[in-house]
Amino acid sequence: MKVLFSAITAAILLMAGQVQAADAAAAKALAQKSGCLACHSVDAKVLGPAYKDVAAKYKGDKSAEGKLIEKVKKGGSGVWGNIPMPANSPQVKDEDIKTIVEWILAL
């Protein structure tokens, strides 16, 4: 019985990891389609900051998701340098912005 329980637990964890990887791949593809990756990358600064740097800066900040969603929608400048980020709303749907921001913060 213990072996069966262990096998089921391992299978569930493996499937959860695959779902998270699929969700991350879909979110990255959405960022690409939305034009985000023209100015950002996951690992390196391009025109805007690397997404891993954004995730590190906001780690533990419970209000980060809302702040970043608004920043992506409205655009802005000064937080990461002098190059402004243009507004991405309404051309990028609100639910897509939320998905992309959740993905960034999970990096």
Q: Where are the alpha helices (DSSP H) in 1-93?
A: 2-33, 51-58, 64-74
Question: Residue 18 pLDDT more than 70?
Answer: no
> How far, in Å, CA of 64 to CA of 68, rounded?
6
Separation of first and last alpha carbons in the chain = 37
Band of residue 8 on the pLDDT scale cut at 50, 70, 90: low
What are φ and ψ of residue 45, in 5° steps? -65, 135
Question: Residue 13 pLDDT more than 50?
Answer: no
Q: pTM, whole model, 2 decimals?
A: 0.80
Predicted confidence (pLDDT) per residue in 33-67, tens digit:
999 999 999 999 999 999 999 999 999 999 999 99
Question: Residue 12 pLDDT more than 70?
Answer: no
Q: Which residue has the higher pLDDT, 61 or 15?
A: 61
Q: Could you identify the residue written with the tokens 């996951």?
A: 42
Q: Which residues contact 49 (CB under 8 A, 6 or more apart)?
A: 40, 80
% of the chain beyond a pLDDT of 70 = 79
Q: Which amino acid is at 50?
A: A
